[in-house]
Amino acid sequence: MIAEKGEIHSILEDNYIVIEEKLKEQLGGLTVNVDNAQFKYVNDKENRINLETEYNDQNYACMVEKFHGNHDFLAKSRDDLNTYGIQIQWEQLEIQESIDHIMPTKEEDFDCRYKQKQECQGDMLRHLTDTERHACRVPVDAQCFDETYESFWALDFWSFLSWVPAIALCVFENDFDYDVCVANSAYIVNLKYLQDEMGIHW
């Protein structure tokens, strides 16, 4: 049986349609697979960027917290030493800063051992030479002494034993009132030693 030309054309056309539909199905699935892989890649990339950003933010916040924590600790240590009238001066460890950026000291926080003016108070003292710092000093009276220095039984004991010689020696003392010097001579000798021998300013 010989097929007519029209029948052959019809058969080829039907086969073409079938093949075309199968190719569309296969290509459609391939397109979906490609789209899914691309979506997964983009999603994973966004997740990685978000994780890195979160890590960097937390790491920076941790460093800032530790930085401020260390400064708070150092400030507290300095304040604790100041309660004993001790100011440690070590030029190698000091950060040179402009006086213009120093925060002024509140008047209620003024140190009674120094003149009651800004240039002789607080952080300003760290930028003064020993001579300039001493020029800012005022004689310490009884009230200032009690507010500044903590009592220690050993120094109280030696001050009591040294009361008689202190009557004569305190005549030459300029940094403390005469009565304060006589009553607390052991404290003053100790403070003078810290300054003259160890470079610790009280």
Cβ-based neighbours of 81, under 8 Å, separated by 6 or more: 87, 88
Token readout for 109 is 């926080």
168 vs 162: CA distance, rounded Å: 11
Domain residue ranges in the chain? 1-82, 95-201
Asked if 118 and 134 count as a contact pair (C-beta separation under 8 A), the reply is: no
Tens-digit pLDDT profile for residues 16-37: 666 767 666 665 555 555 556 6
pTM, two decimals, is: 0.46
* Higher pLDDT pick, 101 / 72: 72
177 vs 188: CA distance, rounded Å: 11
Tens-digit pLDDT profile for residues 118-151: 888 888 887 788 788 888 999 999 999 998 888 8
